[in-house]
Chains A and B, each alone.
Chain A
Amino acid sequence: MKRLRLAVKKEKALRFLSHLDFARTVRYIIIRAGIPVCYSEGFNPHMKISFASALGVGVAADIEYMDMELIEEIPVAEVIRSMNEKSSQGFAVLKGAYVDEKAPKLMAMANYAVYELSGPLVGIMDQGELNTLLEKFNQSDTIIYERFSPKTHRKRMIDVKEHIVEPVTGSIAGDTISIRIGILQNENGAIKPGQVWEVLCEQFAMAAAADMMLARRIGIFHRAEGICYSLFEVSDS
């Protein structure tokens, strides 16, 4: 059994898939490409693949990682070529490398994701004003985001700054505001990109609508002691 790690992307027609639908679409691609992938034992065998994260509906990803277990080792270039040939619009394999069978799971390693959020400008705001409010955001020690869960009927308080450890930057181009943020996952979980956008609109008066935003993930890493490592690097250690 060989474990192959792939860097892939999710965009265009696949952007609006839920994680489960995206995973199914990738399974079809693997079968069409004829990759000798392993299945679990039991009454209802499932393909042994796993992803670094569960991307939400509407979130595109320039990069996502997945591991798959193969029955035999076949050249990485061969896997990439055959999968890309059989890919649905919006999916592509970018890179791949075999990793140690005992390497930690992707889900456990990936704890830092960088997003670009963009939405239409509402009202008037120039780059200077945006910089000022982001500076204020970056300088704050704590920013509380209150979330009411309709399931548990409980309020949950999240300290946004616990998850946003690098300065947030942004730009205005035409009538679109774009914000770049990194979100750290810690023992308390993480915050969603949409929630950060909401905080910027509602607590920092960013000239955009709290519910009018599209997220694109531009990177996902393992972060330790302030340094971001590629998930390909982590597997070697």
Chain B
Amino acid sequence: MSHTVHIDPILLGKVSKPARYIGGEWNSVVKDHQTVKLTVAYAFPDVYEVSMSHLGLRILYALLNERIDVAAERVYTPWPDMEELMLDKGYPLFSLETKTRVCDFDVVGFTLQYELSFSNILNMLYLAGIPMLSKDRGEDMPLIIAGGPCAFNAEPLADYIDVFCLGESEESVQLLADTIIDWKENGKPGGKKGVLKILAGQQGNYIPAFYNVSYDENGNFVSLTPSEPEAKTCIEKCIVADEEHVFFPTKPIVPNIDIVHNRAVLELFRGCSRGCRFCQAGMLYRPVREKTPEHLLQLAKEIIANSGYNEISLMSLSSADYSCLGELVDMLLQEFEGKKVSVSLPSLRVDSFSVDIAKKVQQVRKSGLTFAPEAGTQRLRDVINKGVTEENMLAACENAFKNGWSTVKLYFMMGLPTETDEDLAGIADLAYKVLNLYRKITGKNNGRVTVSVSSFVPKSHTAFQWFGQMPIEEIRRKQEYIKTLIRDKHISYHYHDAKTGHIEAAFARGDRRLGSVLMEAWKLGAKFDGWSEFFNYDRWLQAFANAGVDPDYYAARSRNVNEALPWDHLSNGAVKPFLQREWQRAAAGELTPDCRHLSCTGCGVCPSLGVHIIDNKEGRDYEKTSFSC
């Protein structure tokens, strides 16, 4: 029996942006729960404006709602003022579509985008009246399922989540829904554990309760051992082989209030095989699989007609790498000419070609261009395998300045492996070179260069997963050092607080012991930790101390390449020797080419998952995998 929550509209009128909690948006789907066999609440652990901007949940929401036997609804984290009202008046967390209590759904599905959103997951469970720990949840409580990039290092959340779904879910979610419906219709044989056992046998599903963890006498992680026969020793991610024909929603929900990315979104391709050694997304979503420009044009037409949006953003991990980008942009501009629909590219590659594309899409307004050289010297760029040269950079800027742009943003990281002060000085040098280039080309002194430097957080499943993060003091020193080198009022320099990166790093490579840290932090009031106004470093240090866990054991410790890692059982299809080889090549400053254009680099993803690269220019569905790894 499901209950709906009625919030007194007078009280709702008192919180900030009440429309966050109302639903009723165009293209949102409202179904009568009596008419469906499965109800799913898709949960994003952040506020409405951030959550609604996420493409992944929108895809799954639309996909499941295509089925007449499933109702998929949304729930996001209430802002603290709304949380206070809910706690004060006893309103439990409810879904946007039917205002059903979240605890009455069959499944609650969280997306894990960012380690610092974990505290909001606990808080949302609490507000829903759902026991936070899996072991405390009875048969009447929903199955708590989670996916997204952070599911690849699931261990810090192992005590809280029933099922982690690894990889791309467009196809596997159908089996998941069928399995749960079957189980329900057969009278839930074996209870929750019964369905978890079936799910454990399906690709991509990790049921953390079915494993025992062991540590050695020094407290180092040794292994996870299956405790149930259905549990696999290695869980391989799900992947969509046929990107061209996979479901993509053409009726996007159009929010009534402004959100972070309030525009139509077209996904050009999955994956990126440039092989930047710091990048987790590049490793998790291999290989590259493109859609055809013809199909994308058709999708774009439908999305614009169904939404009323006047801007369409071309999304992918690295959109400028889409093999038919020029053609696609021409097709879109032609289609939308005179219709006041603009095309935007969220990220540019560091080269002149990208600026040509930017020229096409930004024909009137010359807002700033953003490039990410990531490191200040060629040596360090080679270490991280960012195949970009200073010549690429300056050619891109020259093209931009000659075509009327005057503002360039440059993104860098600090705290990278092998980094020296010389590399940091290179950041300032590059900024000066770009600014001087502007002066030389335009003869004017009104150019602006913005330098933004974030601190590096080593992530699992990357070549840098063994690297110890630099201490906060060292990051601060480096930040100050760069500051001393930038002395021109036309260059502005931004950097981020190193403290959030420290906590993020501990969770990004944590094991199950981080679960109790998370609980302690929640008890101390942690929420919205991705928001600087709510993140409290001292509170986190206190939580680590209360749980008896040292954050630097996870964040700062350099790991032995042969030691067992708490995410070794969660596979993106890549083999460990590939990452070890990449780690060695990084130390030697050797570049590894992009396999979509040159030879196979032997990561192992294609053969182990039975997929291959789809590149419209290189030849569709071409086979180039070598098995010599």
Interface residues of chain A, those whose CB is within 8 Å of chain B, are: 12-18, 20-21, 24-25, 27-32, 39, 43-45, 57-58, 86, 88-90, 119-120, 211-214
Cα A120 to Cα B23 with chains together (Å) = 25
CB distance from B502 to the nearest CB of A (A): 38
CB distance from B117 to the nearest CB of A (A): 25
Chain A residue at minimum C-beta to C-beta distance from B306: A32
Interface string of B269-306 (1 = CB under 8 A from A): 00000000000000000000000000000000000011
8 contacts between A and B (CB under 8 A): A15-B9, A18-B257, A21-B258, A28-B308, A32-B305, A39-B340, A58-B9, A88-B254
* B10 x A212 contact (CB < 8 A): yes
Give every chain A residue within 8 A of B25 (Cβ-Cβ): 13, 88-89
B325 at interface by CB-CB < 8 Å: no
Q: Tell me the residues in window 12-47 of chain B with beta carbons closer than 8 Å to chain A beta carbons.
A: 12-14, 17-19, 22-26
Given contacts A28-B254, A214-B10, contact A13 B307 (CB under 8 A): no
* A28 x B309 contact (CB < 8 A): yes
Give every chain A residue within 8 A of B306 (Cβ-Cβ): 32
Give every chain A residue within 8 A of B257 (Cβ-Cβ): 17-18, 21
Give every chain B residue within 8 A of A57 (Cβ-Cβ): 13, 18
Cα A82 to Cα B124 with chains together (Å) = 40
CB distance from B541 to the nearest CB of A (A): 37
* A21 x B13 contact (CB < 8 A): no
Give every chain A residue within 8 A of B305 (Cβ-Cβ): 32
* A58 x B13 contact (CB < 8 A): yes
* A31 x B310 contact (CB < 8 A): yes
Give every chain B residue within 8 A of A89 (Cβ-Cβ): 24-25
Cα A229 to Cα B232 with chains together (Å) = 76
Chain B residue at minimum C-beta to C-beta distance from A20: B258
Cα A29 to Cα B17 with chains together (Å) = 21
* B10 x A13 contact (CB < 8 A): no
* B26 x A214 contact (CB < 8 A): no
CB distance from A194 to the nearest CB of B (A): 10
Give every chain B residue within 8 A of A212 (Cβ-Cβ): 10
CB distance from A236 to the nearest CB of B (A): 32
Q: A25, A32, A43, A58: which contacts B256 (Cβ < 8 A)?
A: A25
Instruction: Give the one of B9, B13, B14, B365 with max A CB within 10 A.
Output: B13
CB distance from B375 to the nearest CB of A (A): 36
* A43 x B365 contact (CB < 8 A): yes
Please list the 7 inter-chain residue pairs (A to B) with the smallest Cβ-Cβ separation, ordered nearest first: A13-B24, A28-B308, A16-B18, A58-B13, A89-B24, A31-B308, A32-B308
Q: How many residues of B contact A (CB 8 A)?
A: 26
**A31-B308, A44-B364 given. 19 additional CB < 8 A pairs?**
A14-B24, A16-B13, A17-B19, A21-B19, A21-B256, A21-B257, A28-B309, A29-B26, A32-B26, A32-B307, A32-B308, A39-B340, A44-B365, A57-B13, A57-B18, A86-B308, A88-B24, A211-B14, A213-B10
Given contacts A21-B257, A32-B305, contact A13 B23 (CB under 8 A): yes
Given contacts A58-B18, A88-B256, A90-B24, contact A28 B12 (CB under 8 A): no
Instruction: Give the one of B10, B14, B254, B309 with max A CB within 10 A.
Output: B10
Give every chain A residue within 8 A of B309 (Cβ-Cβ): 28, 31
Give every chain A residue within 8 A of B365 (Cβ-Cβ): 43-44
Cα A12 to Cα B310 with chains together (Å) = 25
Chain B residue at minimum C-beta to C-beta distance from A46: B340
Give every chain B residue within 8 A of A86 (Cβ-Cβ): 26, 308
CB distance from B612 to the nearest CB of A (A): 39
Cα A35 to Cα B195 with chains together (Å) = 51
Chain B residue at minimum C-beta to C-beta distance from A60: B9
Interface string of B111-138 (1 = CB under 8 A from A): 0000000000000000000000000000
Instruction: Give the one of B24, B257, B308, B365 with max A CB within 10 A.
Output: B308
Chain B residue at minimum C-beta to C-beta distance from A24: B258
Chain A residue at minimum C-beta to C-beta distance from B20: A16
Give every chain B residue within 8 A of A14 (Cβ-Cβ): 24, 256
Give every chain A residue within 8 A of B310 (Cβ-Cβ): 31
Interface string of B250-270 (1 = CB under 8 A from A): 000010111000000000000
* A27 x B308 contact (CB < 8 A): yes
CB distance from B362 to the nearest CB of A (A): 11
Instruction: Give the one of A21, A30, A120 with max B CB within 10 A.
Output: A21
Cα A233 to Cα B23 with chains together (Å) = 36
Cα A24 to Cα B26 with chains together (Å) = 13
Chain B residue at minimum C-beta to C-beta distance from A90: B24
Cα A58 to Cα B365 with chains together (Å) = 36
Give every chain B residue within 8 A of A16 (Cβ-Cβ): 12-13, 17-19, 22
Give every chain B residue within 8 A of A29 (Cβ-Cβ): 26, 308
CB distance from B452 to the nearest CB of A (A): 26
Chain A residue at minimum C-beta to C-beta distance from B19: A16
Give every chain A residue within 8 A of B14 (Cβ-Cβ): 211
Given contacts A13-B256, A21-B258, A86-B308, contact A28 B9 (CB under 8 A): no
* A28 x B10 contact (CB < 8 A): no
CB distance from A116 to the nearest CB of B (A): 14
Q: A17, A18, A20, A88: which contacts B26 (Cβ < 8 A)?
A: A88
Give every chain B residue within 8 A of A27 (Cβ-Cβ): 308
CB distance from B576 to the nearest CB of A (A): 49
Chain B residue at minimum C-beta to C-beta distance from A118: B10
CB distance from A161 to the nearest CB of B (A): 27
Chain B residue at minimum C-beta to C-beta distance from A26: B308
Given contacts A32-B308, A58-B18, contact A120 B26 (CB under 8 A): no
Cα A45 to Cα B364 with chains together (Å) = 11
Chain B residue at minimum C-beta to C-beta distance from A214: B10
